Amino acid sequence: MSIKIGIIGGSGFYQMDGLTDIKEIEVETPFGKPSDALILGTLEGKQVAFLPRHGIGHPLLPSELNARANIYALKSLGVEYLIAVSAVGSLKQEIEPRQFVVPEQLYDHTKDRNSTFFGDGLAVHVSLAHPFCPHLNEFLHTAALEAGTTVHRGGTYICMEGPAFSTRAESQVYRHLGFDIIGMTAAPEAKLAREAEICYTLLACITDYDCWHPEHDAVTTDMILDNLRANVEASKQTVRNAVAKIADVPRTCSCANALENAIATHPDKIPPTTRHRLSLLLDKYLA
């Protein structure tokens, strides 16, 4: 049986509460191993697959994540809807710690990450004008409201390389450019989900004001950790609310056919090894 809903937990979100009939599986992909074993189970009556993005115990830096393996592993289980959760910093006064954002846009400011499944003789260019699935965003936003959170809909997430946080100069530039929140993981996750034709949405949970805020120095690590813990509880409830509804809806967004007009290479020119390695993504179009 295929599992249609995937959940990726961020910092502090290493297990999915409420999951029953739990089964843990190790998945190998053509791109190596995911961050950890995938946890399969039933949540709100639905089959789901959960993956802690940084691994259990958080051994992985954002730059060390094998996002290709993570997304490919979820795709191989049949995942069509992916809810990702991330701890982020706020670049706007009105987006406060312990509040949530369901962003609409993504600005990739990372420097050294592999952000495509393709290459090796196969050129594919997917549309990323809307990097988050608009339909799934709507579900997630409603689910966050139902969980009693203060949630902002829309806005732009800038993804930085890390692992160090921004300098004050960088933070101020990002604010001038109009970005709303800053994190280290949505790129290339969103891009790869699109290439895998998976609907992707992100629950961004605010832990702090990055470092631009004049009172930032007054914020202690303890306060940030308290915010993180509070966010994790509320984000788990939000995810449960979203899962309860998602799979009942027919999939009408364009994410499901993202590769339809995106494959530039003539089928006869695709090297057999590349074709074979990516059969999970390509069979629908090239079989």
Closest distance of CB 275 from Zn ion, Å: 26
Exactly one of 48, 69, 84, 199 binds Zn ion (CB under 5 A); that residue is: 199
- Per annotation, catalytic residue among 36, 108, 180, 208: 208
**Sign of the alpha-carbon dihedral angle for 91, 94, 99, 100:** negative
The Cα–Cα gap between 116 and 284 comes to 18
77 versus 258: smaller Cβ distance to Zn ion: 258
Cis amide leading into 163 (omega within 30): yes
Stretch in the footprint of Zn ion (CB under 5 A) among 31-39, 161-169, 198-206, 242-250: 198-206
Stretch in the footprint of Zn ion (CB under 5 A) among 26-34, 113-121, 127-135, 170-178: 127-135
What three-state secondary structure class fits 197?
A: coil
Q: Give one DSSP letter per residue of 75-86, joined into a string.
A: HHHT--EEEEEE
Closest distance of CB 91 from Zn ion, Å: 26
Closest distance of CB 78 from Zn ion, Å: 15
From the list 126, 81, 84, the residue with the least C-alpha distance to 102 is 84
Closest distance of CB 176 from Zn ion, Å: 32
**Residue 52 backbone phi and psi in degrees, to 5:** -80, 120
The C-alpha angle with vertex 59 and arms to 243 and 61, in degrees rounded to 5, equals 85
Q: Is 208 a catalytic residue?
A: yes
- Residue 196 as a binder of Zn ion (CB under 5 A): the answer is no
92 versus 130: smaller Cβ distance to Zn ion: 130
Q: Which of residues 130-149 bind Zn ion (CB under 5 A)?
A: 133
180 versus 197: smaller Cβ distance to Zn ion: 197
Closest distance of CB 1 from Zn ion, Å: 22
- Per annotation, catalytic residue among 210, 248, 268, 283: 210
The Cα–Cα gap between 42 and 19 comes to 5
| Number of residues located near Zn ion, criterion CB under 5 A | 4
Q: Which two tokens stand for residue 87?
A: 């701890």
Q: Which two tokens stand for residue 78?
A: 């049949």
The C-alpha angle with vertex 78 and arms to 76 and 254, in degrees rounded to 5, equals 110
Q: Which of residues 219-258 bind Zn ion (CB under 5 A)?
A: 253, 255
Q: Which amino acid is at 133?
A: C
The residues annotated with a catalytic role in the active site are 208, 210
Q: Which residues bind Zn ion (CB under 5 A)?
A: 133, 199, 253, 255
